[in-house]
Structure 1
Amino acid sequence: MMTQGRCSATAATVLLCLLLLHFEPAQSATFTVGGSDGWTFNVADWPKGKRFRAGDTLVFNYDPSIHDVVAVNRAGYNSCKAQKGAKVLSSGKDQIKLGKGQNFFICNYIGHCQGGMKIAVVAA
């Protein structure tokens, strides 16, 4: 009877290990916004066809003397206006971790957002 108990415990351990391997969490990914062109005009369509997950990182590469990155809400994205208290990044090599759901970013320099320097990313 003891042998049967050990066998069951071993089988349960193997099954548990297999389940843990099968459900191993996915690695987060890093995406460079705009690809080799970086964060620039006409990048609004850049997210199309890409799959994003919460925890993925967006890298914004740009010239900080002429651009910035602002995390905005949907209204700020649609109007190209940063809401009061919005986080403004200006290093030229900003990295932002995506939250689950909708994430919106614009360039706050006059006319840049209107020139397509904005993206909307949905993370699963």
Structure 2
Amino acid sequence: MMAQGRCSAMAVTVLLCLLLLHFESVRSATFTVGGSGGWTFNATAWPKGKRFRAGDTLVFNYSPSIHNVVAVNRGGYNSCKAPKGAKVLSSGKDQIKLRKGQNFFICNSIGHCQAGMKIAVLAA
């Protein structure tokens, strides 16, 4: 009888965990960077007024023959330089999940970041 009670409690715990995971994934949002214009120049103001959470997805739509996306740190964002070994995304339809805290992205095509093709996103 005691073992059956433990199994029931464990089943309830597992069910609650699954429900929490489901609701957490439902709460995450998807944002298209730059809106209908996509990932392009003068993007730095795009995040203003938006609320982001860890787990939200940013979608970067752009012409892959011209642009790319690189996740960088604050130094890379400020200097417009991708750190050595940074992963350069270039599909033209890249999706990146935000991590908690500050997230920085640049286009590292020559001159593009300097022309404002970079964003800083704070995720709660």
TM-score in same-fold range (> 0.5): yes
Question: Which amino acid in the other structure matches residue 123 of structure 2?
Answer: A
Question: Which amino acid in the other structure matches residue 86 of structure 2?
Answer: A
Determine if the alignment matches structure 1 residue 100 to structure 2 residue 100.
Answer: yes
Question: Which amino acid in the other structure matches residue 56 of structure 1?
Answer: D
Structure 2 spans left out of the alignment, 5+ residues: 1-15
- Where 2:102 maps in the other structure, the secondary structure is strand
Task: Name 1:37's counterpart in structure 2.
Answer: 37
- Where 1:76 maps in the other structure, the secondary structure is helix
- Where 1:31 maps in the other structure, the secondary structure is strand
Task: Name 1:110's counterpart in structure 2.
Answer: 110
- Where 2:75 maps in the other structure, the secondary structure is helix
Aligned-partner Cα distance in 1 for 2:53–2:71: 17
Structure (1 or 2) with the greater helix fraction: 2
Aligned-partner Cα distance in 2 for 1:62–1:38: 6
- CA RMSD, 1 decimal: 1.6
User: TM-score under structure 1 normalisation?
Assistant: 0.80
Deviation at 1:71, TM superposition (A): 0.4
Aligned-partner Cα distance in 2 for 1:85–1:102: 20
If you compute each CA radius of gyration, which structure gives the higher value, 1 or 2? 1
Deviation at 1:101, TM superposition (A): 0.3
Question: Which amino acid in the other structure matches residue 62 of structure 2?
Answer: Y
Task: Name 1:66's counterpart in structure 2.
Answer: 66
Structure 1 spans left out of the alignment, 5+ residues: 1-16
Q: C-alpha offsets along residues 23-49 of structure 1, whole Å, 9 cap, x if unaligned? A: x54610000000000000001000000
User: TM-score under structure 2 normalisation?
Assistant: 0.80
Q: How does 1:72-87 map to 2 (within 5 A)?
A: 72-87=72-87
Deviation at 1:87, TM superposition (A): 1.4
Aligned-partner Cα distance in 1 for 2:87–2:73: 11
Percent sequence identity is 84
